[in-house]
Amino acid sequence: MKILIIGCGNMGGAMLAGWLRGGFAPDIFTVVDPIVPHVPAGVKLLREVPPSGAIFDVILLGVKPQQLGDAADAVAALAGPETELLSILAGVDLATLHRRFPEAGGIVRVMPNLAAALGKSPIGLFGDRKSGRDALIEELMAPLGHAEWLAGESLMDAVTALSGSGPAFVYRVIDALAAGGAELGLPREQADRLALAMVEGAAMLAAQARVSPGELARRVASPGGTTQRGLDVLDADQALGKLMETTLRAARDRGAEMAAEARNSG
């Protein structure tokens, strides 16, 4: 297998790291990036897209969505009938990708997050599902985390909001927890460490539990106890739930706006 990565920024780099961590050989990867200073040992780094005679089994589009127009012409010449094109471009829909890469053998939109580097990313998939190609896509996703095919492309914006943007929201929650601890008298650096360790442990327990996170919260809270008193604040008027819904809706809607912008750009 030969894999070409177009753009190796934060997300492309995380996926490459996850593949290498998962046992993929470095020499199957070629990275095209004009500014990244270096790539892992054994990976080929180019500053420009290789000539049209080059053959790749998989091409990963990892440029910024607004850079698609600049990259598409050169990359399209490499995306032939035997090539699977994977796109991690938020907001760029399948119709736009098919228009830009009309000869590609298959196109799949992929929405991971930076935890792909650790093999812990949730991954949303939507695109061409052909006999034998599902297996290839799932083989590629396995070292990166937990992948799921989506029932409709409109759900990609929701996955982008939840799984793609979600880590930033979690980081803000961790920061807010630490800030709250500092307001109660803990030294801020100590509050940061305790908040981070608490969230790490809680996430690991939730991942292994056979019940929902909501049920876990109920089990942690004793009636009339300290945890329940805090939950009463979060649950009042569904404050936390409404805040999260509004947050995710804003991120999702921006994804829809970006899709429209990509379509209108030609």
**What local confidence, expressed as pLDDT, does residue 66 receive?**
79
pTM for the full model? 0.86
Structural domain includes residue 159: no
* 46 bridge partner residues: 32
Reduced to 3 states (helix: H, G, I; strand: E, B; else coil), residue 20 is: helix
Q: What is the CATH number of the domain that holds 177?
A: 1.10.3730.10
143 in the same domain as 189? no
188 in the same domain as 72? no
**What local confidence, expressed as pLDDT, does residue 265 receive?**
64
Domain assignment of residue 91, given as a range: 3-152
**What local confidence, expressed as pLDDT, does residue 162 receive?**
93
Q: Are 7 and 74 in contact (CB under 8 A)?
A: no
Structural domain includes residue 88: yes
64 in the same domain as 42? yes
Q: What one-character DSSP code corresponds to residue 53?
A: T
45 in the same domain as 146? yes
List, in order, residues 6 or more apart from 45 with CB less than 8 Å away. Answer: 30, 31, 33, 36, 38, 39
52 in the same domain as 8? yes
Which of 128, 152, 176 corresponds to the end of one domain? Answer: 152
**What local confidence, expressed as pLDDT, does residue 266 receive?**
55
96 in the same domain as 23? yes
Reduced to 3 states (helix: H, G, I; strand: E, B; else coil), residue 22 is: coil
106 in the same domain as 196? no
**What local confidence, expressed as pLDDT, does residue 67 receive?**
79
Residues in the chain predicted with pLDDT less than 70, given as ranges, are 131, 262-263, 265-266
What kind and span of H or E run contains 121? strand 121-127
Residue type, 117: A
Structural domain includes residue 213: yes
**What local confidence, expressed as pLDDT, does residue 55 receive?**
87
* H helices present in 77-187, as ranges: 94-100, 133-141, 155-159, 166-183
Structural domain includes residue 260: no
Q: Are 163 and 113 in contact (CB under 8 A)?
A: yes
**What local confidence, expressed as pLDDT, does residue 14 receive?**
95
Q: Are 125 and 106 in contact (CB under 8 A)?
A: no
Q: Most distant CA pair in the chain: distance in Å?
A: 71
Backbone dihedral angles phi then psi of residue 32, each to the nearest 5 degrees? -115, 115
127 in the same domain as 22? yes
Q: Are 58 and 140 in contact (CB under 8 A)?
A: yes
Using left for φ > 0, alpha for ψ between -120 and 50, and beta otherwise, residue 162 falls in alpha
Structure token pair of residue 242: 């409404």
